[in-house]
Chain A
Amino acid sequence: MFQLKNVDYVVTDEKTGAKKEILKNLNLSFDKGKITVVTGHNGSGKSTLIKLLMGIEKPTNGQILFDDKDITDLAVNEMANLGISIAFQQPVRFKGLTVKDLLDIANERSTNISDACDFLSLVGLCAREYLDRELDNTLSGGEIKRIELALALAKGGEVFLFDEPEAGIDLWSFDDLIGIFKKLKDKTIIIVSHQKKILEIADKVLLMSNQGYQMGERDEILGNMSPSKCARLEVRDE
Chain B
Amino acid sequence: MNSIDKDLLAQVADLHSVPQGSYNIRKNGESVGRASDSDIEIVSKKDKQGIDIYVRKNVKNKSVHLPVIVTQSGFEDLVYNDFYIESGADVVIVAGCGIHNSGDKTSTHNGIHTFHLAKNAKIKYVEKHLGLGNGTGGKVLNPVTKIIMKEGSVCEMETVQLGGVTYSNRKTNAKLGKGAKLVIKEKILTTDKQEAKTEFKVELLGDGSSVEVVSRSVAKGESKQKFVSKIVGDAECFGHVECDGIVLDKAQVVSVPEIEAKNVDASLVHEAAIGKIAGEQLVKLMSLGLTKEEAEAKIIKGYLN
Q: Write the nearest CB–CB distance from B160 to chain A, whole angstroms.
A: 14
Q: Which residues of B contact A76 (CB under 8 A)?
A: 283, 286-287
**B193 located at the interface, meaning its Cβ lies under 8 Å from any Cβ of chain A in the complex:** no
Question: Which residues, 163 to 221 on B, are CB-close (under 8 Å) to A?
Answer: 216
Contact call B290/A97, Cβ cutoff below 8 A: no
- Alpha-carbon distance between A96 and B299 when the two chains are bound, in angstroms: 8
Assuming the A-B contacts A77-B292, A105-B298, are A95 and B303 also in contact, with contact meaning beta carbons closer than 8 angstroms in the complex? yes
- Alpha-carbon distance between A30 and B286 when the two chains are bound, in angstroms: 23
- Alpha-carbon distance between A56 and B292 when the two chains are bound, in angstroms: 12
- Identify which of A65-73, A80-88, A172-180, A195-203 touches chain B: A80-88
Q: Which residues of B contact A77 (CB under 8 A)?
A: 286-287, 289-292, 295
- Alpha-carbon distance between A97 and B285 when the two chains are bound, in angstroms: 11
Q: Which residues of A contact B303 (CB under 8 A)?
A: 94-96
B280: nearest chain-A partner, CB-CB: A92
**B304 located at the interface, meaning its Cβ lies under 8 Å from any Cβ of chain A in the complex:** yes
Q: Write the nearest CB–CB distance from B226 to chain A, whole angstroms.
A: 21
| Contact with B287, one of A80, A95, A96 (Cβ below 8 angstroms) | A80
Q: Which residues of A contact B304 (CB under 8 A)?
A: 96
Q: Write the nearest CB–CB distance from A121 to chain B, whole angstroms.
A: 20
Q: Which residues of B contact A118 (CB under 8 A)?
A: none
**A106 located at the interface, meaning its Cβ lies under 8 Å from any Cβ of chain B in the complex:** yes
- Alpha-carbon distance between A81 and B287 when the two chains are bound, in angstroms: 9
Q: Write the nearest CB–CB distance from B202 to chain A, whole angstroms.
A: 23
Q: Which residues of A contact B286 (CB under 8 A)?
A: 75-77, 80
| Contact with B302, one of A54, A96, A155 (Cβ below 8 angstroms) | A96
Q: Which residues of A contact B281 (CB under 8 A)?
A: 92, 94
Assuming the A-B contacts A92-B278, A95-B303, A97-B298, are A105 and B287 also in contact, with contact meaning beta carbons closer than 8 angstroms in the complex? no
Q: Which residues of A contact B305 (CB under 8 A)?
A: 96
Contact call B299/A86, Cβ cutoff below 8 A: no
Contact call B287/A54, Cβ cutoff below 8 A: yes
Q: Which residues of A contact B284 (CB under 8 A)?
A: 88, 91-92
Q: A56-B283, A75-B292 are in contact. List 15 more A-B contacts (CB 8 A).
A: A54-B287, A77-B286, A77-B290, A77-B295, A80-B286, A80-B287, A80-B288, A80-B289, A91-B284, A92-B278, A92-B283, A92-B284, A94-B302, A95-B216, A97-B302
Q: Which 10 A-B pairs have CB atoms at the shortest separation, nearest pair first?
A: A96-B302, A97-B302, A76-B286, A92-B280, A77-B286, A96-B303, A80-B289, A106-B288, A92-B284, A105-B288
19 contacts between A and B (CB under 8 A): A56-B283, A75-B286, A76-B283, A76-B287, A77-B286, A77-B290, A80-B288, A92-B281, A94-B302, A95-B216, A95-B244, A95-B303, A96-B299, A97-B299, A101-B298, A105-B288, A105-B298, A106-B288, A108-B289
